[in-house]
Chains A and B, each alone.
Chain A
C-alpha cells in the first residue's frame, strides 16, 4: 500500500505532493523566528502574510474537496505571523513612547 502511494499520481514523486508540503515552511519559519529582533521584522510583509493565510483558511474549506490540512497550516501561519506582527507593532509603539518621554533640554 505504501509503494502504491509512492508511485501514485499524487505521491511523493510528484509536485502535487511537494507543493502543499512546502507551504508548511511558512509556519515553520515563523516558529524559527520566535525570538527575532523586532527591529528586523517587516511590518508590511507580516500584514500581508496574516491576510494571505486568513483568506486561504476560508478557501481551504470552500474548495471541493475540502482540505483540513491546508486549513490547519494557514491557521498556524496566520497565528504565528500575527504574533511577529504584534511584536513589531508593540516595539514601534514603545519606541514612539520613548521618544515622546525623552526630556527635552
Chain B
C-alpha cells in the first residue's frame, strides 16, 4: 500500500551472504514478503492457541467460538478438496483447527458446562 514491504524485500535480498535457494525463496511471489506466506500461518495460530487453551479451566473456553472454529474447520477441509489447486497443507491446517475445536467442546461436555455462559 505504501510500498514499504517491496523496499524491505529489496534491502534484505541485496545482502550478499544469501545462498541461491534462499534468495529465490525471499523473492518468490508466495514468499515471506507477501501476504500469501503469512495467512496459512495465521490459520495454524488458531489451532496452536486452542492447544494452548487446553491447559486452561473450561470456564475460559467459549462454547460458541469453539463451535464456529470446529464447523468452519470442517467445511474448509471439504472446500480445500474441491478447489484447484488442491493444497494439502491447508487441508491439514483446517482439519487440525476442527479437531482442536471439537476437543475443546468435548472437554466442556465432560464437565457438564457445554451450555454454561
| Beta-carbon nearest neighbor of A20 in chain B | B79
Q: Which residues of B contact A16 (CB under 8 A)?
A: 79, 82
Which of A32, A45, A56 contacts B64, CB < 8 Å?
A: A32
B46–A55 CB distance below 8 A? no
Chain A contacts to B: CB under 8 angstroms: 14-16, 18-19, 22-23, 25-26, 29, 32-33, 36, 39-42, 44-45, 47-49, 51-52, 55-56, 58-59, 62
Known: A19-B75, A26-B68, A42-B53. A52 touches B45 (CB 8 A): yes
Question: How many B residues have CB within 8 A of the partner chain?
Answer: 30
Cβ distance B57 to chain A, nearest Cβ, rounded Å: 9
Q: Report which of B38, B39, B56, B79 forms a contact with A42, defined as CB distance below 8 A.
A: B56
When chains A and B are docked, how far (Å) is the Cα of A52 from the Cα of B73? 14
Seen from chain B, the residues whose Cβ lies within 8 Å of a Cβ on chain A are: 34-36, 38-39, 42-43, 45-46, 48-50, 52-53, 56, 59-62, 64-65, 68, 71-72, 75-76, 78-79, 82, 117
Nearest chain A CB to B33's CB is how many angstroms away?
12
Smallest beta-carbon distance B84→chain A, Å = 12
Contacts of B60 in A (CB 8 A): 39-42
- Given A16-B82, A45-B65, is A51 in contact with B45 using a C-beta cutoff of 8 Å? yes
| A44 contacts B52, C-beta separation under 8 Å | yes
Known: A15-B79, A19-B79, A59-B35. A48 touches B64 (CB 8 A): no
CA distance A19 to B71 in the complex (A): 9
Contact call B82/A15, Cβ cutoff below 8 A: yes
Q: Report how far A48 CA is from B38 CA in the complex, Å.
A: 13
Partner of A56, one of B39, B48, B61: B39
